[in-house]
Structure 1
């Protein structure tokens, strides 16, 4: 079944991963960076953390929402066996490969930088996100296929009616509020390998699926009320910043997180739902870049931090280094070497003529080339 191409979600996914890179680079310049396994600059730039605290409550949940949406579209052309096999190849394989061959690289750089004994240390690192998604797929597949088999039934009609009201999306926040009240995370934005991160991601993934399952009313609602959601998010962030030194009670941060997300979806739906040659390329690159970026930025930090230059310039140079090196590694190694492609979530075969053609197509990346766990055009 052919579905409408959603270029806005592709753009938002690419932008979110770009912000992730900047977020991780900003951590290098915080006094506590080494406590969470990052290389630390001797000269901090704590001012960077203020805008980062606005991002950190919604950037990861947003990607889980998008992943749930992608699963809905993928199910339209696959049965459960095909879908599970596809997710195993596109998510589980890069996840397992990354644990033994990618995350170990940035740990090696960390050990080298601090003159620590060099050791091989397989770990999830930033790839915990992929592991969580695969678990969510396995757990929720029966529920999602039940809903698929009862499409246009009472559940879908009820969801559609609920999402036609501006309070409908906000009602979802209650489930995220319940999660923080039960799990009681010490730090709301500490998602990686925590129970809070697991359950928060589970809810975002589940509701991401339900939002697109509910039909077009959700998109029409967030388009119309996007300023409301962003305004509520900004007010809650202001309260968090002024009254709580950026770490407000979890229930307030859960509501703020969802308001940012719905506002971003609304603005993206209005302004970004257009094809682009650049988007065609970036949509393919985003997944491999996500996988390799930590090693690259660690290498950049090790090389650039010792240089004599202003701290702000070091941040800029490390950011540029990370972006350029990720591009070069993707373009000239991952993308062009056939056996490496599936290890980074891409298709096995390399067709240079087809790749060149795709870069010149005005309609955007072909569906089959997008990273499966976030592909919305299925």
Structure 2
């Protein structure tokens, strides 16, 4: 169980979740699903391990972000200071990302899939800031940085609630929620919440456009809130520990219908199959998150010399990784590189590029806030 001190297992879980995200985006180059840059021909089997993570990889990021946000609020001691710190840490790199980091991605997608004839500089000067669409692509765009936008909104909501709700009421709510989520309820109640959201909005699919993504916000806010409670009421780690094995088994079992339906109807099946697929995805997703939190609490709550630098590097890696993948993939595919060496080269280029971005930016004071680091830390 975690106490009031830093939970190192949650640090490792955050590091692992973002590392998985990078691998997932490299996989997007190869699967049949649409993306900014694609290898031809697509490799169908790559979709199976990616489907195994689809139900939980993004909610897990919001859960560990909720945990970290709660820790920061305790450290800063007030809603106003928390809101200022979160805004500086999230909005500055978001603006930098939209202005500088992101533009190569839509340019490459337009050039490779829509016949856009101009170079990157022309695109940035004349087309990127059109505040409209070009061949169906919204410009300018935040692309993968949508996560930063959503996280900022959730943290501002938390700051607002803490500013206007009396502290005694917050204590009562948190205590009551922790009691309600005790034992197997930490697995069952959030899972039920996810299933209810899907049942209420069965046709909604993520847009990452913020204002039209209400059901998705409900989905992610449940994970964010549970992560917050894990930090403020660490007794919940005991509840996670009691059901982590069952959660892991359930996650594996729930993946069976997901794989079956995806393989049986790769282009979309009957309505009942779609309902079973997405219902099983909710079950598998939350069960996997509970199992992973339990694993982090039981076996990863220990330090290592790489933990601190990796924990600091996570956000800069996240900001830059997708642009590196898209740019490197674009040139490697045009050079005719085959699938296996393409994957190896993409991993190597992404890792090297992310480290260069992080290590270069952290040494220059004015660059640190742009890449998501604290100034002068």
Q: Normalised by the size of structure 1, how large is the TM-score?
A: 0.83
**Unaligned stretches of 5+ residues in structure 2:** 129-139, 267-273
Displacement after TM superposition at 1:225 (Å): 2.1
Match of 1:13 in 2: 14
Which residue of structure 2 aligns with residue 324 of structure 1?
352
Q: Which residue of 1 aligns with 2:79?
A: 80
When residues 95 and 185 of structure 1 are mapped into structure 2, their CA distance, relative to the original with a 3 A threshold, is farther
1:32 deviates by: 3.2
- After TM superposition, give the deviation of residue 154 of structure 1 in Å: 3.8
Counterpart of 1:28 in 2: which secondary structure? coil
SS of the residue corresponding to residue 15 of structure 1 reads helix
The number of equivalent residue pairs is 342
Select between 41-50 and 285-294 the one with higher mean Cα deviation.
Answer: 41-50
Q: How far apart, in 1, do the equivalents of 2:289 and 2:315 lie?
A: 21
Which residue, 312, 322, 327 being the options, matches 1:299?
327
The Cα shift of 1:146 comes to: 6.7
Match of residue 192 from structure 1: 208
Residue 98 of structure 1: aligned partner: 97
1:230 maps to which residue? Answer: 248
What's the secondary structure of 1:258's corresponding residue? helix
1:42 alignment partner in structure 2: 40
Q: Distance in 2 between matches of 1:278 and 1:242?
A: 40
After superposition, the C-alpha distances for 1:104-157 in whole angstroms (9 at most, x for unaligned) are 132234445566233232211000101111111222324345778228954333
Alpha carbons of 1:242 and 1:109: their partners in 2 closer, same or farther (altered >3 Å)?
Answer: closer
- 1:147–1:282 CA distance, 2 compared to 1 (3 A): farther
Does the residue aligned with 1:305 lie in a helix, a strand or coil?
helix
The more displaced of 145-154 and 106-115 is 145-154
Matched, 1:277 2:278: no
What corresponds to 1:344 in structure 2?
371
C-alpha contact 1:100 1:123 (8 A) present in aligned 2: no
Contact 1:181-1:250 at 8 Å conserved across structures: no
TM-score normalised per structure 2: 0.83
Deviation at 1:94, TM superposition (A): 1.3
Distance 1:144 1:54, change over 3 A: farther
Residues of 2 paired with 1:94 and 1:42: CA distance? Answer: 34
Q: 1:268 aligns with which of 279, 293, 296?
A: 296
RMSD over aligned CA atoms reads 2.4
2:192 matched residue in structure 1: 174
Map 1:337-376 → 2, pairs under 5 A:
337-349=364-376
Work out which of the residue numbers 304, 313, 316 in structure 2 matches 1:288.
316
Secondary structure at 1:338 match in 2: coil
The superposition leaves residues 14-49 of structure 1 with CA deviations (integer Å, 9 ceiling, x where unpaired) of 11111111111111112333xx4x111112222111
Deviations 1:31-74 (A, max 9, x none): 333xx4x1111122221110000111100000111111112111
Cα distance between partner residues in 1 of 2:302 and 2:102: 35
Mapped partners of 2:346, 2:262: distance in 1: 31
Residue 91 (structure 1) shift: 0.8
Distance in structure 1 (CA, Å) of the matches to 2:166 and 2:307: 30
The gaps in structure 1 that reach 5 residues or longer are: 350-368, 370-378
Q: Per-residue CA shift, 1:161-188, capped at 9, x if unaligned?
A: 333312333211122112112222455x
Partner of 1:123: 141
Cα distance in 1 for partners of 2:221, 2:175 equals 23
1:315 lines up with 2:307 in the alignment: no
TM-superposed CA distance for 1:218, in Å, is 1.3
Distance in 2 between residues matched to 1:137 and 1:273, nearest whole Å: 25
